[in-house]
Amino acid sequence: MPENSRTIEDLLSIVEKNYMNPDVDLIRRAYHLANEAHQGEKRLTGHDYILHPLAVAYKLAEMGLNLNVVAAGLLHDVAEDSEVDIEDIRKNFGDDIASLVESVTKLKKVVYRGVDRYVENMRKMFLAMASDVRVIFIKFADRLHNLQTLYAMPVHKQERTAREALEIYAPIANRLGMSEMKGDLEDLAFQYLFPKEFDWMRQIMETKVREKGASVTKLIEKAEQILRDAKLAHVEIHGRVKRLYSLYQKMQRYQNDISKVYDLIAIRIVVEDVAECYAVLGFIHQHWVPVPRRIKDYIAQPKPNGYQSLHTSVFCENGDVAEFQIRTREMHELAEYGISAHWRYKETGVTPQKNLHWMEELVVIQKELASKSDFLEQLEVLKIDAFKDRIFVFTPQGDVIDLPEGATPIDFAFAIHTEIGNKCTAARVNNQLVNLDSALKSGDIVDIITDKNRKGPNPDWLKFVKTQHARSKIKDKQKHVMGAWLRNVLPKSKTKL
Ligand code: MN
């Protein structure tokens, strides 16, 4: 039996632990059907196939998703290649579980031809999510276990599976605010796609945790003392270590200067309400001097995916910088589980009310989708909160480009390639010539017309571009043109511009 594989007993015990009065019989029955259906079937790892659905269901139960989702996790591969079909599942387990299994099965079967694989996958994910977002949770858990057993796959499949996880699944998990899932998917994929960098980040992390472990423990004790003295009851204080892929991305932004990464280990303080968050921030700043411009109020200004917390970096006694993240219990739950938090089983019976319109919007989208067949139109309809500030447009080859709302053909051109931006002279949107400052819409197919003799971008474009990327590229090019001109005028000058 491989490491971290789960048995039906393990699954039942986490269900008993995470749910109040769970329908254990439902889980048992789903297991028996799955076990029978996969009898004799092996995975490439050489293990019995049933270990896969068990792992998927275990993850879903760990996330505390309602038991129908857990049961569907057990049954998710049954209808694909066994005697058992969706109707059998419907008869035994009812409509809800049957339709979840059916959606997961359909997601695997749909094959688009002649379109970029990335677009295909995006389409499938969007559509499945719009019909029932719980299908995506099962897909995430499925992909997670596939990544955990990727070592048994041929190398080209490893690469493809890992790349899809990194480029499609993880960004969607992120958009849905599911940071734990995003982190798990990214770190597993990272290991396969960039093994050297992965080892490097792991080494950094091990060294830093060794170096800083003791001082973080002291900081936590001190923070607990401060809160006690202030008579502020906290729910929880804990240290959290940055994820490896997220560290890698940050290192790239800071030219690999680890000393600039302040949140390698952060201290999280969870309290009951928002007023207490600000009170805690005040007490933290009374005891430790905050690093200028490092205070982020994501409570007043949440991130686009709904993330809320107060972040502050402070100078500690030993000269180190430490980051505190302060949030309410509800914010904590949403930060870890995002949209899936709404489907979590609640011990207290209390469901977070905020952001519940996500669910309502999804229902609306589901209805609208039912009446439309064209995917591009559907994309237009997909204005759920998580995607509200972004648009998705297509290259003529079918690649998806993700841009902020109001983005123009110039933003699009630079998003594809700097040279396409630099040489852009006109743009066609859905086969119509448009002005370069016109706002693009989700689903638009954008074709950039370039002129290779063009010297560079028009500085006037700075007046309407929406992305920082396009802005900086236009400015860079201007500097470059000026630099070349100066060098021509002053051939021996060492002026660096
Ligand atoms: Mn599967």
pLDDT tens profile 176-189 = 778 899 999 999 99
Instruction: Taking residues 432-459, report their average pLDDT.
Output: 89
348/72 Cα distance (integer angstroms): 25
- Ligand 1 centroid, distance to 105 Cα (angstroms): 9
Other C-beta atoms closer than 10 Å to the C-beta of 456 total 15
Between the CA of 76 and the centroid of ligand 1 the distance, in Å, is 6
Q: From the CA of 421, how far away is ligand 1's center (Å)?
A: 42
User: Would you say residue 414 has pLDDT above 70?
Assistant: yes
Distance 104 CA to ligand 1 centre (A): 9
Predicted model pTM = 0.67
What is the distance between the alpha carbons of residues 492 and 32, in angstroms, rounded to a whole number?
A: 82
> Domain 389-489 in CATH: superfamily?
Beta-grasp domain (3.10.20.30)
Instruction: Label residue 125 by pLDDT band (50, 70, 90).
Output: low
Query: What is the distance in A from the centroid of ligand 1 to the CA of 242?
Result: 29
CA distances from 244 to 116, 194, 380 (A): 29, 11, 35
Report the distance separating Cα 260 and Cα 254, nearest Å: 7
- For residue 383, what pLDDT is reported? 36
Q: How far apart are CA 352 and CA 350, in angstroms?
A: 7
Q: Report pLDDT digits (tens) over 378-404.
A: 444 443 434 456 677 777 765 667 788
Distance 134 CA to ligand 1 centre (A): 15
Please give the span between the terminal C-alpha atoms of the chain, in angstroms, as a whole number: 63
Domain 8-193 in CATH: superfamily? Answer: Hypothetical protein af1432 (1.10.3210.10)
**Does residue 80 have an active-site annotation?**
yes
Residue ranges with CB less than 5 Å from ion ligand 1: 77, 142
The full set of domain ranges for the chain reads: 8-193, 196-340, 389-489
Distance 404 CA to ligand 1 centre (A): 34
Of the residues 10, 16, 62, 80, which is catalytic? Answer: 80
Q: To which H or E segment does residue 449 belong?
A: strand 446-450
Write the CATH number of the domain with boundaries 196-340. 3.30.460.10
Catalytic residue among 36, 41, 81, 206: 81
Instruction: Determine the angle formed by the axes of helices 24-37 and 51-62, rounding to 10 degrees.
Output: 150
Q: For residues 146 and 142, what is the distance between their CA atoms, to the nearest angstrom?
A: 6
Q: What pLDDT, in 10s, does the model give residues 417-432?
A: 999 999 999 999 988 8
